[in-house]
Chain A
């Protein structure tokens, strides 16, 4: 029996929905998750992988606040790689290929075990509003359930429309019904709603692939993990494979373009530029004679394969022709055809950075409904929306991380201040404080904040405190301990360090030398007591010490941009009343409605002089 009243209702059971619901329940809120189909909770609709550049950092941040995604991915991992290992820790990223079924099971297991969280299979038709405040949801059949806060995580279901060739039909995902009532209701409320599109490749039957001819891409050993908590039992590992398109493949695509919904005009919404369909690749990069195709296993217990790189909405026959041109796939059978999907999203500039929809108190949005793409982006927003939905119920002020605290901070700031014109995906180059926002330090950045918010369990908090203390102690030793050249054999020191040790140095100074790490220092000074520390802690201390100079400069640059930028802008500010602002700047400000001067500063075309005017005006209004 579901109750008639909850603190929080989360609509949707995808990656945003489960994080919102479990975060809310962890904070002690009576929470209900409503979704079309309880069996598809935690479903990966697109490729069977978690992580990658910018994304793994988000997953670690969600994990640092006790979210599900990292642990589920670790449990379902069947191939793991650490990308950019040699390019520096700030751009190092873990990517996990998962068993799609195992992943869903892991998520469902966590959701079912979460105390204070109830589930309901139903279709939400609209939000119940009274006096611009959320009162609950109205289900199909007009049954209502009350709640103080509601989080909407509709994914691609909001007025979803699937395209393949000249065919189109309403659907939320292949074979599943879309959310039409809710979409209508949102438009009727006068919210600014637009369309985006995304797509998937056809899936293949692995038994019909000629594996012998393909390059193997094995995972790493020992197996890396995404979560800061111990991963427990891991699944057997399988490799990915690589193949590529050939000129004949491109000819097939070019020949079928007039039947492509994107090029025939049936779809005019934007798709992601970084995840282009094979149609886009062939048209936009006509000079390329091949494109790589990554064959990702769908799982241990299915022969299905996800050919990443040939997302397409061409008709079935063209998809078949295309696949047959690809080396190793000549005989491959398609098990599910690729398609493109268009769906509604709300211009995220209507949100504040807590993901609250300003016009409707108590309503929060997360995931693709905000114009993002990606499981990780969805999960991070879901968690943030869940936290803020509950803070509101508790009568507390909202919370969101700054751009120099988390990728999540970059994400919500970009969304809410700049909006989107294509599905928004995280990249490390979006983070100007990238050197601080690393995978390795997500727990020290966010677990204490999560603990204060009440979303982090005591066990994780204790663990993160221990690690932080060890890290601090080790760094203090490195920075405090001086070494005299006479204490070590000259030739030995030069051999280990690569350059002579000529003057007394702190251990940290040695770690900062090019091509030297903590391992070399341990080797030189075995009695310094450094190896008592956990290898993970040693790794992290090395990064902190090596990067200290840069991080200080980063903070100095930040200060240079000066504290005034934190000043909030008055709500409902009429930019046209400000003398001296150009029309262009006024228009940009009106579109973005920055909440702080800092946000205004990052809007294109807003000059330092315009900022001065804004500042003066803001101050005057504040009195």
Chain B
């Protein structure tokens, strides 16, 4: 018998992208657990759901900005994949959208699922029968292998090196902290040591630098977001279609036809790129289009690169001046479109979707800019690494505050322990026995 009370055994509500990343036109974010419905409500804005019925909705992030439009389905437990309350969001499959959707689900109370966790819960809630158990194990094993390979890969290069360095530094701190707490007869009074706060500061600084570089790496893995901007009918949709090789935007000669934000995942010079075609940045009385304009500005603000399209047939206008000036200086580039109809400014990128020079100039531009953006500094990190680093950071900040405000050894020590446990989710956990070993190796302890 299915025991719906099983939900209580799994207090975490978990969320994950359920479809392979970067593939397919539709992506699914799945949420399972007691808070699934609440997450569904928060992200879709719907209050009520008919069980197992597809509702059309606009998905919004925590600040209320729209992310995507798509379908949301509520599967009340126990009649769901996991046997728990499940909500699924089906959106356009681009990595950036899916990541945004996942983040929205996490912000609304979900937690990142571990590899195989959905399957495991399904099994535990008797949604899979005994004969399926072996395949579950195999699935988890496969998940594990993939995850392990990915983990090994990501911990090999520089990221691994830096994370391990950070773990070492944290261990060193804890050796002093725990040493002075457990061995008060020895001369290791770290609280009296002025250098202690400084060491925590240094650690915090290293952590923040690592976090920034890892975040860039995560973006790299998920794809760059390139926004196509420019006046209405500047050729954005045509360029999008040409680059992605399919008709996903409706292209007409009339200005203002692209009201939705359209996205396409393409690969440029080996980089996963998500092209985003925005509604024209046109001031308009039309309410629907006005909303589109606001969303476009939002997207521009969060993009890695903005391609500003100028219709060669119309030339550079005052409106172009105004709109160009509103784009982020370090992340904008001019692309002259429809060069078959007029003359672009010399030395600037020019393309045509119907004649020479074709698309090659814009591909070259993307290649140059993306390589620049990913140069050297990015680390091969994954989202779960970022989550862990965020928690480590929170604990280190707390340790510093506790030290400065209270000078209290036991509380700061607890913060550092939690920091190390969070870091252990990346590097592997350290048992207290190993820490004691380090203390004995560092200090001559013993009456």
Contacts and interface: CB of A to CB of B under 8 A. Distances in A.
Contacts of A562: 10-12
Interface string B166-186: 000000000000101111110
B140 A435 contact: no
Contacts of A427: 182, 432, 436
Interface string B331-371: 00000000000000000000000000000000000000000
B148 interface: yes
A245 to B, nearest CB: 11
Interface residues of A, number: 61
A88 B444 contact: no
B136 interface: yes
A612 B184 contact: no
Interface stretch (B254-262, B309-317, B410-418): B410-418
Interface in A549-569: 550, 553-554, 557, 559-560, 562-564
Contacts of B147: 609
A554 B414 contact: yes
Given A274-B445, A435-B411, A428 B120 contact: no
Contact of A429 (B140, B408, B435): B435
A580 B409 CA distance: 43
B312 to A, nearest CB: 56
B447 A579 contact: no
Interface stretch (A17-25, A280-288, A338-346, A373-381): A280-288
Nearest to B415: A550
Interface string A279-315: 0010011001001101000000000000011000000
B301 interface: no
Interface string B430-441: 011101110110
B159 interface: no
* Most chain A Cβ neighbours within 10 Å, of B9, B411, B421: B411
Nearest to A421: B433
Contacts of B410: 87-91, 434-435
A435 B414 contact: yes
Nearest to A608: B114
A128 B433 CA distance: 37
A616 B408 CA distance: 43
Contacts of B318: none
Nearest to B138: A579
A560 B12 contact: yes
* Most chain B Cβ neighbours within 10 Å, of A292, A429, A435, A620: A429
Contact of B444 (A281, A428, A434): A281
A27 B62 CA distance: 58
B373 interface: no
Contacts of B148: 607, 609
Contact of A616 (B137, B431, B435): B137
Contacts of B184: 53, 83-84, 87
B440 A88 contact: no
Nearest to A418: B433
Given A309-B446, A609-B147, A87 B414 contact: no
B387 to A, nearest CB: 12
B323 interface: no
B327 to A, nearest CB: 42
B290 interface: no
B143 interface: yes
A54 B178 CA distance: 12
Contacts of A609: 115-116, 140-141, 143-144, 147-148
B130 interface: yes
A613 interface: yes
A291 B444 contact: yes
Given A434-B410, A620-B130, A292 B182 contact: no
B144 A612 contact: yes
B124 interface: yes
B447 A429 contact: no
A508 to B, nearest CB: 16
B11 A559 contact: yes
A578 B137 contact: yes
Contacts of B417: 432
B409 to A, nearest CB: 3
A435 B114 CA distance: 29
Contacts of B185: 83, 292, 294
A615 B138 contact: no
A309 B447 CA distance: 4
A580 B9 CA distance: 25
Contacts of B9: 563-564
A262 B144 CA distance: 46
A186 interface: no
Contact of A550 (B117, B130, B411): B411
B436 A579 contact: no
B23 to A, nearest CB: 24
Contacts of A515: 406
Contact of B409 (A91, A276, A578): A91
Interface in A522-564: 547, 550, 553-554, 557, 559-560, 562-564
A432 B124 contact: no
A292 B10 CA distance: 52
A613 B140 contact: yes
B253 interface: no
A467 to B, nearest CB: 23
B134 interface: yes
A333 B107 CA distance: 72
A186 to B, nearest CB: 26
A392 B365 CA distance: 79
A613 B114 contact: no
Interface string A89-125: 1110000000000000000000000000000000000
A557 B424 CA distance: 14
A436 to B, nearest CB: 10
B405 interface: yes
Given A53-B183, A276-B446, A281-B444, A612 B414 contact: no
Interface in A425-461: 427-430, 432, 434-435
Contacts of B133: 616, 620
Contact of A86 (B130, B191, B421): B191
B123 interface: yes
Contacts of B137: 578-580, 613, 616-617
A604 interface: yes
A456 to B, nearest CB: 28
Given A53-B181, A578-B137, A613-B140, A88 B120 contact: no
Contact of A91 (B123, B181, B444): B181
Contacts of A238: none
Interface string A371-401: 0000000000000000000000000000000
Contacts of B405: 514
A615 B114 contact: no
A610 B143 CA distance: 11
Contacts of B408: 87-88
A607 to B, nearest CB: 7
B411 A88 contact: yes
A435 B181 CA distance: 13
A90 B409 CA distance: 9
B145 to A, nearest CB: 8
A607 B124 CA distance: 19
23 contacts: A53-B181, A53-B184, A83-B185, A88-B409, A89-B410, A273-B440, A274-B183, A274-B446, A281-B446, A288-B444, A309-B447, A418-B431, A429-B178, A429-B439, A434-B410, A550-B414, A564-B124, A579-B137, A580-B137, A580-B144, A609-B141, A609-B144, A617-B137
Top 3 closest pairs, chain A to chain B, by CB: A88-B410, A609-B144, A580-B141
Given A308-B447, A428-B182, 8 more contacts: A83-B184, A87-B410, A276-B444, A291-B444, A294-B185, A429-B178, A429-B181, A434-B414
Interface of B: 8-12, 114-117, 120, 123-124, 130, 133-134, 136-138, 140-141, 143-144, 147-148, 178, 180-185, 191, 405-411, 413-414, 417-418, 421, 429, 431-433, 435-437, 439-440, 444-447
